[in-house]
Structure 1
C-alpha cells in the first residue's frame, strides 16, 4: 500500500488486490510530464522498489500496454491502453442516448458541444461534437477539468445539496487559472446557487482564456444529477449575453431531452455502426 492510501479503510479490505492497484498506478504514472520513463523513474513516480517496478513494467510490456525502447531502455504507453477507456465509451448507455441530441445541438448552435460525467472533484469529458469553425480550445474525450471553475461542474453541483457542494469545493485545490477564475468559496456558492435558480450554469473564460461556457445538468429517472452538457464558444464570436439569449434555450431543451427521452432509432443507429465484430477481409 502506498503512503497516499495508508489509513483508507477501502484499501484494507481482504478483497482488495494490492498488486492490481500497483499495476494500474504504473500505467497512470505516464503523462505529459512523463511521456517515457526508465525503471528508476517508474519506481520514483509510483513509490515502488526498482525490482517491483521492473516486474510490473515487464508484465505490462508482455501484455502489450507498455513498449520498451531497445536502445534507451525507456518505457512508454502503447495504443492498447486506449482500449480500456474506449470500452467504457462503447457500453455507456448515457452516451448512446445522448449522441443524437448532442449532434443536433452542435448543428443548430454551430459551436462545440460536450457531455461530461463527474469523477471526484472533476468532470470527465465522455462525448464531444466539435464546431467546424475555428476553435481556440482542444478538448479530447477523456479530458478532466475541475468542477469549481467550469460550467459543466457548476451545472452538476447545482442539483446537489448545498452542504455537500461546499464540502466538495473545500476539498478541491482551487487555482486561479486565468484572470477571471473564481476561487473564493462564498462567491462559488453564490454562482452555483444562481445556476440552481436559472437552470443553467456559466463560466466566463475561467479555465481557458477566450473560452465561454454554458452548461445544464443531466438527471436520472429520480431527478439526481449524473452528468452535464455544455456549449463551448470563443469570445471572438460570442459574448456571454448573446450565449444566454440565443443558445441557452437550445441547451435547456437538449438537457431535458437527454434526461427524459430516448432518441428515435433512425437517429441513434448511425452511432452504433462498428460496435460489433469488425468484418474480416481477405
Structure 2
C-alpha cells in the first residue's frame, strides 16, 4: 500500500492562506508513490494546474533541489532533499523520543511489528515502525497513511476523543469496505469506540488487510486525550485466540501509559 495523499485543510478561505504555497505543495504531493517519475502533463493534471503554472512550479522546485528532472525523458521525480523535512520532524518530535525505547522493548519481547502512529484528519500516520522477521506488510513504512475508522491504532485514538470530534473524523472518512470484515456503519463504529474506551485498547482482525491482526493502546496528553497510539501487528497464523489478545493488550496498555503525559489531577477526564 502506498502512502495516501494528505487531506485538504478546512481553512483555505482564510485571508492568511497563500495560494502559491498551496499549489507548490500540490505539485509535490502529486508524487504519491504510485509512479517514480511524472511528466509535466501528468503533474498538471494531478495538481489541478494548467501546463504553464505546472512548468513554473516544477522549475522552481527543481531549482530549490526538491525535484529532479531526467534529461532524457524530461520527467520529474522527488529529490532526496525532501527527506530533510522528515529528518527534522523525527529529530524534534518529543512523542517519538519518548516512544522509541518503548517500541524497541515491545519488539524484543513480542518479535512482532510494533508501530507508533499519530492522527491527522481522518487518518493515522505511521511515524515510527520496528519490523520483525515475521512482518506481513513490508509496504507499510514510516509516512504511510491508514484510515482511522478501521484500524486498531485509529480506534484506540478515537476512543478517547469527544463525540463531536469523532463525528468530524467519520464524516471526513471514506467508510469503504477494505475486506469483508471492515465495519463501516458509523453507529456501530461509535458503539465499538465505547468498548475500546472501557477496555483501554482496540483490537481488529482482517479489517484493513487480510490475515492481519492488530492491537493498539492510546498515548494520552495531559487532558486524557490521545495524541498517538502504540500497536502490535501480527499474522493470523501467529495468533493464539484470547490468550494472545489479553497478553498483547496488557503489554500495550503498560507501554502506552509509560509514554503518555501525566494527566492534570484537577482536570482528569473520564473515558
TM-score normalised to structure 2 length: 0.89
Report the Cα distance in structure 2 between the residues aligned to 1:141 and 1:235, rounded to whole angstroms.
23
2:104 aligned with 1:106? no
Report the Cα distance in structure 1 between the residues aligned to 2:11 and 2:200, rounded to whole angstroms.
36
User: Shift in Å at residue 260 of structure 1?
Assistant: 4.1
TM-score normalised to structure 1 length: 0.85
User: Shift in Å at residue 134 of structure 1?
Assistant: 2.3
Match of 1:25 in 2: 26
Match of 1:229 in 2: 230
**Partners of 2:113 and 2:134 within 8 A in 1:** no
**Partners of 2:134 and 2:234 within 8 A in 1:** no
Report the Cα distance in structure 2 between the residues aligned to 1:61 and 1:167, rounded to whole angstroms.
37
Matches within 5 A, 1:2-17: 10-17=11-18
User: Shift in Å at residue 121 of structure 1?
Assistant: 0.4
Structure 1 residue ranges, 4+ long, deviating more than 3 angstroms after superposition:
none
User: Shift in Å at residue 167 of structure 1?
Assistant: 3.3
**Partners of 1:178 and 1:209 within 8 A in 2:** yes
Match of 1:192 in 2: 193
Deviations 1:200-226 (A, max 9, x none): 001111111111001011111222211
User: Shift in Å at residue 163 of structure 1?
Assistant: 3.8
Deviations 1:129-166 (A, max 9, x none): 112x3221122111110001100000000011234313
**Long gaps (5+) in structure 2:** 1-6, 263-271
2:161 aligned with 1:134? no
Report the Cα distance in structure 2 between the residues aligned to 1:256 and 1:99, rounded to whole angstroms.
14
Report the Cα distance in structure 2 between the residues aligned to 1:141 and 1:40, rounded to whole angstroms.
29
**Long gaps (5+) in structure 1:** 262-282
User: Shift in Å at residue 30 of structure 1?
Assistant: 0.9
User: Shift in Å at residue 194 of structure 1?
Assistant: 0.8
**Partners of 1:151 and 1:230 within 8 A in 2:** yes
User: Shift in Å at residue 9 of structure 1?
Assistant: 7.4
User: Shift in Å at residue 180 of structure 1?
Assistant: 1.2
Match of 1:150 in 2: 151
Match of 2:65 in 1: 64
Report the Cα distance in structure 1 between the residues aligned to 2:232 and 2:135, rounded to whole angstroms.
12
Deviations 1:40-75 (A, max 9, x none): 221111121211111110111111111111121111
User: Shift in Å at residue 113 of structure 1?
Assistant: 0.9
User: Shift in Å at residue 240 of structure 1?
Assistant: 4.5
**Partners of 2:111 and 2:134 within 8 A in 1:** no
